[in-house]
Copies of this chain bind each other. A is one copy, B any other.
Amino acid sequence: MARRIGKYTIFYDTPPVIEGYASVAGKKESEGPLGKMFDRVFDDEYLGQDSFEKAESEMQRQVLSIAMEKSGVTPADIDILFAGDLLNQCSASTFGLGDYNIPYVGIYGACSTMALGLCMASSFVEGGLAQRTACVTSSHFCSSERQFRLPLEYGGQRTPTAQWTVTGAGSVIVTSLKNTGIKIRGITLGRTVDKGINDVNNMGAAMAPAAADTIKTFLTETATSPTDYDLILTGDLGQVGSRLLCEILQNDGIDISKVHSDCGTNIFFDKKQDVHSGGSGCGCSASVLCSKILNNMTDGNLKKVLFCATGSLHSPTTVLQNQTIPGISHLVYLEV
């Protein structure tokens, strides 16, 4: 049974197990520090498709296929699939995953989608609503840039706070049918946090307050401290947002600096790859979690991890209408 600890945190008495996981990534990501850890990398940014959007769908199709293969399961073995992405109307997921014929729940958490998907996938398993679930998400530099910012051909200058949308995808399969492996011990579902940031080229600053809110909530509700964990991993705050997160929590008397890392600062070489503040996109936290982090947990190098992906809940329309940029962060407590 699940136990609610406070308003936001749910602990699982019978923690679901991560049965398998997979990551795929693009060429630039393959040249970064995690390049050798992805299950598959693509030199062709089109993946043989005729548009970047279809290429993103193809990444989702392949990453779920690899995750199933590594888990030794077929689509018929998966009770529910949770997926979403950044494209308008979450179309990368729709078109990438439809052929699998799995009961499908579309989710939207912007770049927090991997964490949101894990929250849903584990809740349904722990609540006895499913025995095996899967979650998938992705982002693609080319489909995101042209949808959210500028035409690729424009070649606009990027600000120092800007982040580079990761071309990549991740998938995790969660089950109650096994009891060894990496366990999902609990979750904290975040709330929307809006501190009035309105610069789409500084999403780290827009999302950091949400990450701070969720991490603080989790630590408070569980009465634990940052050093009780081996790693507190945020999604895609980048360098600017990571610094801000540590500062916000420090002001609340919480020092996470010794155990904090961010997927956006893990995936690219800082200066050599010219990504400014770091990586971003649903595919950033998804591909980093589903490579380096879960590998390290499997190998026993990491035991207790708080995975708190972060999402920036704006659209090009809301930005043009002078709305601020609300952030959200969902937390997943992983243990091996």
- Interface positions of A (Cβ within 8 A of B): 1-2, 4, 7-8, 10, 50-51, 53-54, 76, 79-80, 84, 86-91, 94-95, 97-98, 101-110, 116, 119-120, 123-124, 126-131, 147, 189-192, 194, 313-318, 321, 323, 326, 328
Contacts and interface: CB of A to CB of B under 8 A. Distances in A.
Contacts of A315: 87-89, 91
Contacts of A2: 127-129
A54 B318 CA distance: 9
B192 A94 contact: yes
Nearest to A90: B108
Quickly give the copy total for this chain.
Answer: 2
Contacts of A147: 317
A89 B88 contact: yes
A191 B93 CA distance: 12
Contacts of A123: 123-124, 127, 129
Contact of A191 (B91, B101, B314): B101
Given A89-B88, A191-B104, A192-B97, A129 B130 contact: no
Nearest to A314: B89
A194 B98 contact: yes
Nearest to A188: B103
Given A53-B321, A94-B326, A313-B89, A4 B130 contact: yes
Contacts of A76: 7
Given A88-B89, A89-B86, A95 B326 contact: yes
Given A89-B86, A104-B189, A127-B127, A98 B4 contact: no
